Amino acid sequence: MIRLFVATAMALGLFLSPANAEWQPKGPIKLWIGFGAGGGTDTQGRALAEELEKLKGWRIIPDNKAGGGGTVMAAQLKDAPADGQTIGFAINTTFDFATIKNDNLAIDDFTFITTTAGSQMAVLARTDSGWKSLEDMAKAAKGGTKIVWANWGDQVQAGAEIVAKHFGIKINPLRGKGGKSGMNALVARDANVAWGGGVQRGLVAAGELVILASAEDKPLVQAPKGKTLKDYGIDLSLGFQFLLAGPKGMPQEARDAIAKAIAEVLSNPESKTAKFIAKQYPPGPVVVAGDALTARLKKNYEANQELLKALSK
């Protein structure tokens, strides 16, 4: 069964006004995906584009603009026409972390449309490493093993440094383009530790990778008895949400019409997108839209400023 979690504002009928129902794009909608092909963002974005086309008759053109944890895409999105016909798909940290002390991007450069799903954020290693916990990784590092930790953006790299600091070890970051790049680095043995936001599911199920810790506020679905970072005494949660955004100044009727259509897709038990999310990012789709989403991101922004302060100490 697919479960859809919807923000209060939407449940109260935010998307039901006649103006919202009347908005239609005047041409194709460009959907810029902030991460590389084959990852969770890309798979969701392309499935969603296909299903929105069938549902609404809109033509939607997905295009990958990977790099910098979604910021390569965001830097182009902020300067796009604010007419609802150019939107971006990334994760919340693209907007509420990467914009901190950034001369080129600000959180207020964007109109936030809706989330689609939440992560299953994990610290991962190859099973044949023999490690089963962060303590095992730290012991290996202190014994001379070089730790190469794959990541996709500044926030998760900062998170890895906080973990390393806690255990008194040194790590070597390896930057890629999305969660899939971390899995590829582990499989290719270019890295021996990586973050995974959910794309790791198949490799964990196949026994190739092992979850060392959850970076969510609770254990992961694939490791229900496993420890979280907070269980290790590390006050850090790196769980994220996938979300769509447009440029600043995007009309509210366009924002709400797109959000309403996405919510309709994700609430359909036969939806390919919703099924993918339920499988890869359980328990299912998570929809927070409009003003409620904007408020959440600004709260995250403040919390991330504190995270950076803690790292600098």
The neighbour count for residue 189, using CB atoms within 10 Å, is 10
Residues 245 and 109 in one domain: yes
* Tokens found for residue 68: 């910098």
Same domain for 115 and 9? yes
Last residue of a domain, one of 232, 258, 290: 232
* Same-domain check for residues 245 and 214: no
Q: Which of 200, 232, 264 is the last residue of a domain?
A: 232
166 and 209 in a single domain? The answer is: yes
The pTM of this model reads 0.84
Per-residue pLDDT of the chain (313 residues; tens, 9 = 90+): 444 554 434 443 444 444 445 799 999 999 999 999 988 999 999 999 999 999 999 999 999 999 999 999 999 999 999 999 999 999 999 999 999 999 999 999 999 999 999 999 999 999 999 999 999 999 999 999 999 999 998 889 999 999 999 999 999 999 998 889 999 999 999 999 999 999 999 999 999 999 999 999 999 999 999 999 999 999 888 999 999 999 999 999 999 999 999 999 999 989 999 999 999 999 999 999 999 999 999 999 998 898 788 777 6
Q: Which domain holds residue 114?
A: 5-119+240-312
175 and 228 share one domain:
yes
CATH of the domain at 185: 3.40.190.10
217 shares its domain with 146: yes
Domain count, the chain: 2
The sheet carrying 209-214 orders its strands as 172-175, 148-151, 193-196, 122-126, 209-214
pLDDT of 178 reads: 82
Residue 277 and residue 213 share a domain: no
Q: Which residue's entry shows tokens 């359909």?
A: 268
* Residue 86 sits in the same domain as residue 172: no
